[in-house]
Amino acid sequence: MKAAVLGAGSWGTTFAQVLCDAGTDTVLYARKPQLAKAIAGLHENPDYLPGVALTPALDATSDPAEALDGADLVAFAVPAQSLRSNLLEWVPLLPRGALLVSLMKGIELGSRLRMSEVIAEVTGPELAGPAAERIAVVAGPNLAGEIVRREFTASVVACVASEGALVLQGACHTPYFRPYTNTDVTGCELGGAVKNVIAIAVGIAVAMGLGDNTRATLITRGLAEIARLGSALGAQTQTFAGLAGMGDLVATCSSPLSRNRTFGEYLGRA
């Protein structure tokens, strides 16, 4: 199997390394030519993961056509609000029948679509096969700074077609990265997006000097609200009790590596 990861930020680079470590031939696309050269030649991402040695097996390019050539799996790791514009450029290059994977956690402004829905809407008329069955997502506690150093973690790979989830699981399963399959794409994506709001609230509480009781209240009651919202939008309630719900929420609300919690702390000090 060959994979292409489009987006060389911290998570895109990290997931590309996970794929390589799982034995999947992977090419990482970086928008900046100098960054692609650093990753391919120096085995380091100086812009997003400075000082971290990447696997020499990871190749990188600034040419999206080169990255996508012959790819069986295409993972998108760009900012959520730029996904649509990027996809419009990449659609003519996407291999027909490839499994399309969202690594993003967000909701598109205006349309209020989840990332898998944006992918389906933009690529549906162009690529073969029912859109939902060839689109998968990666969810769960995925703090790139830990995973890139090969610290142990578990994740969720979801696709409405169990076959797609199994393909993705096989492509990224390593001794330190254990992916569990799920068919509840809606729940996995909502858990990953909405937990960011709770993490910001926790960061604000930390900045205000509030203690563990407050943080525990925000996390647990936040999880209850996320589950209710997810249920109303068609997700399976049990999804939020697992890695894509509680697991992701706890990591994001507790870790100093979390951008949303950090943003909340800055906001609380303002």
Catalytic residue numbers, as ranges: 195
Which secondary-structure segment (H or E) carries 119? helix 115-123
Residues 6+ apart with CB under 8 A from 190: 114, 226, 229, 230, 233, 235
- Give the angle 70-71-73 at the CA atoms, nearest 5°: 160
- Scored b (16 or more CB within 10 A) or e, 234-250 reads ebbeebbebbbbbbbbb
The pair of three-digit structure tokens given for residue 37, joined into one six-digit string: 């050269």
- Scored b (16 or more CB within 10 A) or e, 54-84 reads beeebbbbbebeebbeebbbbbbbbebeebb
Residues 6+ apart with CB under 8 A from 62: 29, 30, 31, 32, 33, 35, 36
- Give the angle 33-108-168 at the CA atoms, nearest 5°: 65
- Would strands 73-76 and 99-102 be described as parallel, antiparallel, or unpaired? parallel
Residues 6+ apart with CB under 8 A from 110: none
The pair of three-digit structure tokens given for residue 68, joined into one six-digit string: 């996508």
